[in-house]
Amino acid sequence: MEANQVNDQVIKQLLYSKKYKELIEAGSQLGLVKSYQKMKYDGIIYSVGQIVQLSIDGNRDKKTYGKLIGFCNLQVDEYLIPMIKVQKYINKLELPSKLKELQEGISEFELFQSEMEEWLFCTQIDHEIKLISIKEYEEMTIQNERTYFTRADYNVEKDKFTPPISKWTRICICNQISNPDKSYIQCDKCSKWLHYECAGVQAQQAQDMNFYCSMCRKK
């Protein structure tokens, strides 16, 4: 069997087995990969540094997130396959099961930048998202489904948050990690914020009442 045929089989085997990192490395050695700083997909130009929502294995209901850090075209036979390299962002559902106690304090719109990098198909891009700080997110008057926030990085290999969880803001008498998804009411005397359920109030009451927390009521 000729060398070109062997190389062709290796490339296709890596492609079909979804070993994309090895695929790009092998393709690069064979001169089948051309890299770019930008790529146009579905009428939109994407650039290195943008953060995007991605579909997993073609399933639009399963989402992941990543920062675009590279683009390339991979030549397989007469076809060019556009691929993207991303630095992965972790959401609450992707955190290890042992961190389940954190779930109540982590927002549905919270992401953690990881050290993980991976190659994916360009067609897995859904759309760009905006990533801001938790302070900026809490100050938003109108929230939308394409705005996310971050307060820490998460190293998957070391199982470590930076800054550590001990430095995250905690709130309420229950001392839970601050979660912008939750509803809070502010004490009119000491200005502390409490969860509705911890304060013992209903949402419809919170809008029209003067509220004093249990500590201030005792004074």
Helix (H) or strand (E) holding 77: none
Q: Residue 109 falls within a domain, yes or no? A: yes
Asked whether residue 125 is assigned to any structural domain, the reply reads yes
Segments of 57-159 assigned E as strands: 59-76, 79-90, 112-121, 125-128, 130-133, 147-150, 153-155
Decide if 186 is inside a domain.
no
**Residue 122's pLDDT is what?**
94
Non-local (6+) Cβ contacts of 1 within 8 A are none
CB count, 10 Å around CB of 62?
11
For the stretch 68-122, pLDDT in tens is: 999 999 998 888 999 999 999 999 989 887 777 788 899 999 999 999 999 999 9
- Residue 154 domain-assigned (yes or no): yes
Count the domains in the chain. 1
| CATH code, domain with 65 | 2.30.30.490
What average pLDDT is seen over the chain? 89
CA distance 218 to 2: 87
> 86 lies in a domain?
yes
- Look at residue 203 and tell me if it is in a domain: no
Q: Please, are residues 22 and 34 in contact by the beta-carbon 8 Å criterion?
A: no
pLDDT, tens digit, for every residue of 118-174?
Answer: 999 999 999 999 999 999 999 998 888 999 999 999 999 999 999 999 999 999 988
Whether residue 103 lies inside any domain: the answer is: yes
Determine the Cα angle at 141 with ends 203 and 129, to 5°: 115
Question: In this structure, what are the phi and psi dihedrals at residue 28, rounded to the nearest 5 degrees?
Answer: -65, -40
Q: Which residue range is the domain that position 140 belongs to?
A: 1-165
What pLDDT score does 119 carry? 96
- Residue 19 lies inside a defined structural domain of this protein: yes
Q: What is the pTM of this model?
A: 0.87
